[in-house]
Structure formats: structure tokens, C-alpha cells
Amino acid sequence: MLCPGVSEEYGGVGADFRYNMVIAEEVSRLGLTGIGFSLHNDVTTPYLTNVANEAQKQKFLPRCVSGYCIIAIAMTEPGTGSDLQGIKTSAVDKGDHYLLNGSKTFITCGQQADIVLVVCRTNQDPAAGAKAFSILIVEDGMPGFERGRNLDKLGQKAQDTSELFFNDVKVPKENLLGEEGMGFIYLMRELPQERLSIAVSAMASCKSVIEQTVNYVKERKAFGKRIAEF
């Protein structure tokens, strides 16, 4: 169920994306909003499989497949939603590490995550545009990394959605995902698959609700008739 697209080399089965979608459909059909398989399989782990270097893959992917490592991705900020170029969280180059400061919100699996892929600004020049952004792998327990509230939501009550705070977090250079300044490009490559996963899950949920409703009105009786007969 976890990371079917990861190659056998790192403990996966090397399945194609259709396998992920079967899992996503079945999870949605049953209304299991708390287990987070789609985020893990379709959204976050692909950043490691497609962008991470060999050392990072060896360190994290087997643990992702086994379920011992949960990943979150932190893009949204209190003042920045869909406009990713408005991100203010910054990472300053200090030689052998980055000094990370900022905050994120509405982060799925934020409470449980063992690592967080943090989208941040590594180039503070406003003229840098999309090339200002990078992705850092922040690990649980790094000093200065704090989790805020588990946020209330309209639905998906079983799913943790959190605030995250980064106060002078020292992130070693080996935790840079891919190349510096390529973060926005990596997001543009991976986000279409996330959107597809969301759409498939939504369709499966809708289909399930319709099927449950039809079955209910055929069984439920009122005033001497089945509801469907009115």
C-alpha cells in the first residue's frame, strides 16, 4: 500500500502510477481520510524518487516504503496560498548549512511527519523570480523546528493539518533536495500528478456517495413505501 512506485532497489515494487490510483480510489470509496496514503504515495515520496541524490534515497526511501518515515511537504504560508512565488520562508547560506526561518500552515501530516520538504527562498533578491526557491529536507528533532496547532477543518476530520514554525533551524547542506534555485521547477514538475490524484480521489468519493444513497433509498421505508418509490 505504501510507495508502490518506488523501485525494488529501495524496497518498493516499481509499479506504475495506475496502481497508486487503484489504492486512492479504494481509500476514497471507503471514506478513509485519516490514513494519508495518497499524500505519501502520490505527492511527497515522488520528490525523493525523482529529485533526491543517491545518499538521500538510501537514507529515506526504504523507511518511506516500510511506513517508518512519514513525509509532509510545506508550501502554503499564512499569507501565501496558490501564489507560490509569494513565499517568504527564507534559508540563508551559512557555509556548511542553511539557516531556515519562517512559518507554514495547512500542512497535511504536519503533526506526524518525520521529514518535511520545506519550500523556501534561498535567494533574497526580488529580481531572482522563480529561481529564488529551493527545497530543504527538515528532519524531526532539528532544533528550532516546531509544530503548532492541529487545525480544525470543514471535513477530513481524521487527517492532521498543521501549522509549522522554523526558528533558526540549521539544515545541513546535504539536506538540500536537488539543486539550489530549482525548487519552483521541481514543484511545477510534481504538482500535476498531485492534482490528478486529487481528481481521481474526488471522483471515487462522489461515485461512492451516489451508490450509498441509491442503496439507502431502496432500503429505507417511510409511510409504507421505500423512499425510492416516492
- Enter the C-alpha cell of residue 66: 516500510
Range of the domain at 69: 8-214
Q: Could you tell me which residues come within 8 angstroms of residue 208 by beta carbon, excluding any fewer than 6 positions away? A: 28, 29, 30, 31
In a domain? residue 229: no
Please report, for the domain that includes residue 204, its CATH number.
2.40.110.10
Asked, for residue 47, whether it belongs to a domain, the answer is yes
Q: Classify residue 225: in a domain, yes or no.
A: no
Is residue 223 assigned to a domain? Answer: no
E strands, 40-142, in order: 71-74, 90-93, 97-108, 115-121, 133-139
Which one is catalytic: 25, 194, 211, 229? 194
Find all residues with CB under 8 Å of 31, minimum gap 6, and list them. Answer: 205, 208
Q: Is 174 a catalytic residue?
A: no
For residue 120, what are the CA distances in angstroms to 17, 37, 85, 133, 157?
A: 28, 25, 10, 6, 28
Does residue 125 lie in a domain region? yes
* Residue 99 domain-assigned (yes or no): yes
Number of domains in the chain: 1
165 grid coordinates: 514554525
Cell of 2: 505504501
Contact criterion met (CB below 8 Å) for 226 and 219: yes
Q: 67 in a domain, yes or no?
A: yes
Angle at 62 between CA 76 and CA 68, to 5 degrees: 65
Residue 149 lies in a domain: yes
Which pTM was predicted?
A: 0.92
pLDDT in tens, the chain (230 residues): 999 999 999 999 999 999 999 999 999 999 998 888 999 999 999 999 999 999 999 999 999 999 999 999 999 999 877 777 789 999 999 999 999 999 999 999 999 999 999 999 999 888 888 899 999 999 999 999 999 999 988 888 888 999 999 999 999 999 999 999 999 999 999 999 999 999 999 999 999 999 999 999 999 999 999 999 99
